[in-house]
């Protein structure tokens, strides 16, 4: 949510996130650009790339949800199973030290302190809402950055056990937040994958 946290409600879900990005594209006259989705925002990137397929040149999924190439609802999951329930009556899951330790324990010191100070709760509806792709989605535009220390079985993913990879990839030895822990390496990989 970041700078838009003041707009968070229990109704904020994938439709809101997708429309936010589509509006940025429309009102900034963006075209022929690289769409990047990190973590759950892989769902957002996939849906935006489907709806604005004529404007998106490539999609980079960074330690992210990767869509199946189907025209059925997908990507819905219950985050409370992995991260625990929200506070009593809450609709969002806060970022905690325990979550960071599980998927990004290499975020340490001042970086962790800053991350925790800026962290905003994640509305559960963003996870529970599925996305549905049309035939406009072009899997040939997919590229990936995998983070080997985030808890996902990267070797299995690369071997195709979790679905076919449709494009090139890079692996960074880092947890879930390479933009914090390995920014220079991430930038090099993004430039390479954008070509």
Residues paired with 171 in a beta bridge: 146
More confident residue, 88 or 194: 194
Phi (first) and psi of residue 62, to 5 degrees: -100, 110
Q: How many domains does the chain have?
A: 1
Over residues 165-176, the pLDDT tens digits come to: 999 999 999 999
What pLDDT is recorded for position 162? 85
Looking at residue 89, what is its pLDDT?
81
Output 110 or 94, whichever has higher pLDDT. 110
Measured between its terminal Cα atoms, the distance across the chain in Å is 29
111-157 residue pLDDT tens: 999 999 999 888 999 999 999 999 999 998 999 999 999 999 999 99
In DSSP notation, 78-95 reads: -THHHH-PPSTT--EEPP
Strand partners, 122: 93
d(CA 174, CA 126): 25
State which H helix or E strand residue 179 sits in.
helix 178-181
- Identify whether the C-beta of residue 166 lies closer than 8 Å to the C-beta of residue 143: no
Q: Which pLDDT score is estimated for 163?
A: 86
Question: Tell me, what CATH number does 44's domain have?
Answer: 3.40.50.1820
With the C-alpha atoms ordered 84, 86, 92, 98, is the resulting torsion angle positive or negative? negative
Which helix (H) or strand (E) is 154 found in, with range?
Answer: helix 154-158
Residue 1 has pLDDT above 80, yes or no: no
Residue 8 has pLDDT above 90, yes or no: no
Both structure tokens of 141: 């535009």
User: Above 90 in pLDDT, residue 24?
Assistant: yes
The domain in which residue 138 lies consists of 2-194
């Amino acid at each position: 949510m970041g700078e838009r946290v003041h707009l968070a409600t229990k109704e904020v879900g994938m439709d809101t996130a997708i429309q936010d990005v589509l509006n940025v594209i429309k009102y900034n006259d963006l075209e022929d650009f690289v769409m990047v989705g990190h973590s759950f925002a892989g769902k957002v990137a996939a849906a935006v790339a489907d709806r604005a397929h004529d404007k998106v040149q490539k999609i980079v999924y960074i330690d992210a949800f990767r869509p199946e190439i189907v025209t059925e609802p997908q990507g819905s999951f219950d985050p409370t199973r992995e991260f625990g329930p929200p506070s009593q009556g809450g609709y969002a899951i806060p970022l905690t030290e325990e979550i960071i330790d599980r998927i990004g324990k290499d975020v340490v010191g001042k970086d962790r302190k800053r991350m925790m100070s800026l962290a905003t709760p994640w509305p559960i509806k963003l996870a529970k809402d599925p996305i549905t792709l049309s035939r406009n989605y072009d899997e040939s535009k997919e590229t990936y950055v995998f983070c080997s220390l985030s808890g996902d079985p990267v070797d299995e993913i690369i071997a195709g056990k979790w679905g076919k990879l449709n494009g090139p990839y890079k692996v960074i030895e880092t947890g879930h937040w390479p933009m914090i822990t390995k920014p220079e390496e991430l930038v090099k990989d993004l430039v390479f994958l954008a070509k």
